[in-house]
């Protein structure tokens, strides 16, 4: 008779289990929008450098300090401590622990007041997902939500979500963020002693937070250790509490490195799947060194109104950003320190010249081409009279020397022949969005950098030269992906030649002298620039592997006091390149003087040329140099040096004669007027007497004593240099120069 009764009991239990299982399954199907909202809430972002050093932990969108770590990242010991502290039977109850409820009720009855709760980890999480208010009604709803959580999530998912959401006070949520805030370490480095100190905080944050009250925190942690059988010693807990209380480095606990860079990373990650951490390409060691260099140089320039600066350095092969200093100090509001100097725009001075000269090489010029460095008026839409930094003119200058010494007149001469539109297009192709936005509004002053561009645009474009003319996008995150393959923007020869010229210390002597700042023990190339009135000073530098750019000035646009030169940012660039090169294994280097442009292009041929004319060296050439020329552009033998002496083209007549330089002009039998250009418009200075102002008339090819007429009235005769000073009279005029062999006229206007 007992058998059927056992069988009936078993059937009853099976039916009950089935009902419970069906109920549990049905709960899992019931919508729980609050849970989905809770799981998708904004997280903080931990930004790491390339080596795993924390740069900064940014708060969540709601301002709460909140990070995320998977359960696998949290040490088992720390997980065990928190489970023992809050819910020993976590893995054995369905969300509500009946034994805990009964025990808590008995303790409260004996005490005559509430001295103990019965909340499980699941119930605590349910309360965070949907606060249900106080009282019995709130507790019932909390228990119901706990059952729903258990039906929808696994125990591991509940535990992971809870550990990342525990409120610790001080606007901190979650164990990962609390571990970093109190101990300056990632949660995966949390030991049992520190975990125990943190496990007591949620119950009374104001009393047990070890940063606020280390003694009370240690006492509570010891009690927890004894109650849970953790066997932690008091000494280890006191040491951990001392660390949390602020006796150690606060920067390590709450890192705030590379703020402009981390702000940019946060903006890049916004709007997509929200990561809890990101490993960037930045090198925190190099970043700190760059910030130190910039700060020390600016300290010496405080009296010159140079108050700020920015530095960007990238790895050429991948485009990885290694250094990103947006300003001298994020916290210096007086100097607008929160402005990102890497993205702000300013006139770059001569820093645009390398891109112009590269375009010229791809348009038929060669490094041996001779360019005139003479007083010249350029422009049709705008009259432009450039001069060099040292206010001197050098006559005929080879292309190589002109760029290396950063001479202004030859650069504008090149732009006149290539066309402003062609140069604008080249800059846009190189990634100058600033030029794309203002395309069509530039004149010949673009050759000397009178357009506003950013340091980021300059550095990205300058890296094209060590990369054989192939551009690269800047890389911000270490994702293991190779850079996207791109088409070259210039010939490999042009890119290599620009790198070679800008690393040639002998050719830069005319413009910069010995320039010891630019003399490095490794192969390097540099280009500096200074905006008008010295508001902005720049330097670009590169090796085969790295490119760095430095800007210094002020965001207010004030003119600096005195003549602050671009050698200062160049010194910073040089030192940073040295530091980056030291990090490269010796086996990866080709040699101590490795050309920043790489090996000589296959189509180049070393040719002995005349140092003056740029033609192939002839028997009468006094000075010769070797140049790498394209095989299809080898010039003919020099015609300037002859048995009878040196003969210059006519355009150099006044330059030769005014300083009584040696050499003669090759006469062609016809004279021409170099200045003024036809149709030029000049403006008289109202602050000066009219008879104290004059217009320079410069000619070539006329014989001695050629007569000068203005509006058919004889003014006088040319001097020995073919130059005459015309009186500045308002109105439209025609000037005519004639000798017994030829005559020439131009029209101009004075307003």
List per-block mean pLDDT (blocks of 10 residues) for the chain, which spans 751 residues.
Answer: 62 58 61 88 89 89 87 94 90 82 56 58 92 76 87 93 94 92 88 94 92 93 88 89 70 80 90 76 97 94 85 97 96 92 94 97 96 73 57 88 93 91 96 95 89 97 97 93 91 97 88 79 93 82 97 81 72 96 74 80 94 96 94 94 91 79 76 84 74 80 85 87 83 90 88 79
| CA separation for the pair 483, 282 (Å, rounded) | 16
What single-letter DSSP state applies at residue 246? I
Which domains occur in the chain, in start order? 67-253 (1.10.3810.10), 314-588 (3.40.710.10), 604-643 (no CATH), 650-750 (2.60.40)
What single-letter DSSP state applies at residue 202? G
Confidence at residue 113, expressed as pLDDT on a 0 to 100 scale? 47
In sequence order, the β-bridge partners of residue 310 are 551
| CA separation for the pair 374, 366 (Å, rounded) | 20
Residue with tokens 């809870």: 162
Confidence at residue 110, expressed as pLDDT on a 0 to 100 scale? 60
Confidence at residue 705, expressed as pLDDT on a 0 to 100 scale? 82
Which of 487, 488, 523, 492 lies closest to 602, judged by CA? Answer: 492
750: left (phi over 0), alpha (psi -120 to 50) or beta: beta
| CA separation for the pair 602, 581 (Å, rounded) | 27
| CA separation for the pair 211, 179 (Å, rounded) | 12
Confidence at residue 115, expressed as pLDDT on a 0 to 100 scale? 41
| CA separation for the pair 571, 578 (Å, rounded) | 11
Confidence at residue 593, expressed as pLDDT on a 0 to 100 scale? 64
Which of 21, 14, 33, 38 lies closest to 150, judged by CA? Answer: 21
Q: Considering just the CA atoms, what is the radius of gyration of the chain in Å?
A: 38
- Please count the other Cβ atoms lying within 10 Å of the Cβ belonging to residue 686: 6
Residues in the chain, overall count: 751
Taking CA 712 as the corner, what is the angle to CA 708 and CA 718, rounded to the nearest 5 degrees?
Answer: 0
DSSP E strands in 32-187: the ranges are 45-48, 54-58, 65-66, 167-169, 172-173
Taking CA 213 as the corner, what is the angle to CA 211 and CA 218, rounded to the nearest 5 degrees?
Answer: 95
| CA separation for the pair 165, 86 (Å, rounded) | 14
In sequence order, the β-bridge partners of residue 745 are 736
- Please count the other Cβ atoms lying within 10 Å of the Cβ belonging to residue 337: 19
Which of 370, 386, 387 lies closest to 378, judged by CA? Answer: 386
Q: What is the dihedral of CA 392, 395, 400, 401, to 10 degrees?
A: -40
- Please count the other Cβ atoms lying within 10 Å of the Cβ belonging to residue 286: 21
């Amino acid at each position: 008779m007992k058998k059927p009764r056992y069988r009936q009991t078993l059937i009853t239990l099976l039916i009950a289990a089935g009902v419970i299982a069906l109920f549990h399954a049905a709960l899992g199907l019931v919508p729980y929008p609050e849970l989905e909202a809770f799981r998708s809430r904004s997280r903080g972002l931990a930004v790491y450098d390339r080596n795993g050093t924390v740069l900064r932990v940014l708060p969540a969108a709601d301002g709460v300090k909140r990070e995320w770590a998977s359960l696998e990242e949290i040490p088992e010991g720390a997980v065990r401590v928190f489970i023992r502290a809050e819910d020993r039977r976590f893995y054995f109850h369905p969300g509500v622990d009946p034994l805990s409820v009964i025990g808590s009720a008995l303790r409260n009855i004996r005490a005559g007041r509430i001295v103990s709760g019965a909340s499980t980890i699941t119930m605590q999480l349910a309360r965070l997902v949907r606060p249900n208010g106080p009282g019995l009604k709130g507790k019932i709803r909390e228990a119901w939500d706990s059952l729903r959580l258990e039906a929808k999530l696994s125990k591991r998912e509940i535990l992971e979500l809870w550990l990342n959401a525990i409120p610790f006070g001080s606007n901190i949520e979650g164990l990962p963020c609390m571990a970093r805030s109190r101990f300056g370490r990632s949660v995966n480095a949390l030991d049992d002693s520190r975990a125990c100190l943190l496990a007591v905080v949620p119950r009374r944050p104001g009393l047990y937070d070890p940063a606020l009250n280390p003694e009370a925190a240690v006492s509570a942690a010891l009690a927890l250790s004894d109650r849970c059988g953790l066997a932690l010693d008091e000494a280890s807990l006191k040491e951990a509490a001392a660390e949390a209380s602020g006796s150690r480095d606060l920067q390590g606990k709450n890192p705030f490195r590379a703020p402009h860079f981390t702000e940019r990373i946060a903006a890049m990650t916004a709007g997509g799947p929200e990561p809890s951490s990101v490993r960037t390409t930045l090198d925190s060691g190099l970043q700190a060194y760059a910030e130190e260099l910039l700060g020390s140089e600016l300290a010496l320039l405080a009296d010159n109104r140079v108050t700020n600066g920015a530095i960007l350095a990238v790895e050429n092969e991948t485009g990885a950003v290694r250094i990103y200093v947006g300003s001298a100090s994020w916290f210096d509001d007086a100097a607008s320190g929160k402005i990102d100097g890497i993205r702000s725009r300013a006139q770059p001075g001569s820093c645009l010249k390398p891109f112009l000269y590269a375009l010229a090489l791809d348009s038929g010029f060669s490094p041996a081409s001779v360019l005139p460095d003479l007083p010249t008026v350029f422009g049709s839409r705008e009259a432009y009279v450039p001069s060099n930094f040292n206010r001197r003119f050098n006559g005929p200058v080879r292309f190589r020397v002109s760029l290396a010494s950063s001479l202004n007149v030859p650069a504008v001469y090149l732009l006149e022949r290539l066309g402003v539109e062609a140069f604008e297009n080249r800059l846009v192709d190189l990634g100058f969005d600033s030029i794309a936005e203002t395309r069509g509004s530039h004149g010949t002053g673009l050759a000397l950098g009178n357009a506003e561009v950013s340091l980021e645009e300059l550095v990205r474009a300058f890296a094209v030269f060590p990369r054989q003319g192939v551009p690269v996008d800047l890389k911000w995150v270490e994702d293991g992906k190779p850079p996207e393959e791109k088409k070259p923007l210039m010939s490999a020869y042009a890119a290599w030649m620009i790198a070679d010229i800008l690393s040639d210390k002998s050719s830069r002597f005319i413009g910069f002298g010995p320039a010891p700042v630019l003399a490095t023990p490794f192969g390097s190339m540099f280009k500096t620039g200074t905006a008008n009135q010295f508001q902005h000073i720049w330097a670009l530098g590169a090796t085969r592997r790295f490119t760095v750019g430095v800007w210094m000035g002020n965001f207010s646009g004030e003119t600096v006091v005195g003549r602050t030169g671009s050698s200062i940012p160049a010194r910073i660039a040089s030192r940073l390149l040295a530091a980056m090169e030291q990090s490269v294994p010796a086996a990866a280097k080709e040699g101590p003087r490795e050309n920043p442009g790489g090996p000589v292009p296959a189509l180049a041929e070393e040719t002995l040329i005349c140092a003056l004319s740029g033609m192939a060296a002839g028997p009468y050439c006094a000075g010769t140099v070797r140049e790498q020329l394209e095989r299809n552009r080898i010039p003919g033998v020099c015609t300037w040096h002859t048995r009878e002496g040196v003969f210059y083209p006519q355009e150099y007549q006044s330059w030769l004669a005014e300083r009584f330089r040696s050499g003669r002009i090759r006469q062609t039998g016809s004279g021409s007027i170099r200045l003024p250009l036809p149709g030029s418009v000049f403006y008289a200075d109202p602050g000066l007497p009219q008879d104290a102002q004059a217009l320079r008339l410069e000619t070539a090819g006329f014989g001695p004593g050629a007569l000068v007429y203005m509006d058919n009235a004889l003014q006088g005769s040319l001097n020995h240099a073919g130059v005459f000073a015309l009186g500045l009279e308002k109105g439209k005029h025609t000037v005519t120069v004639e000798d017994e062999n030829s005559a020439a006229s131009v029209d101009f206007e004075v307003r």
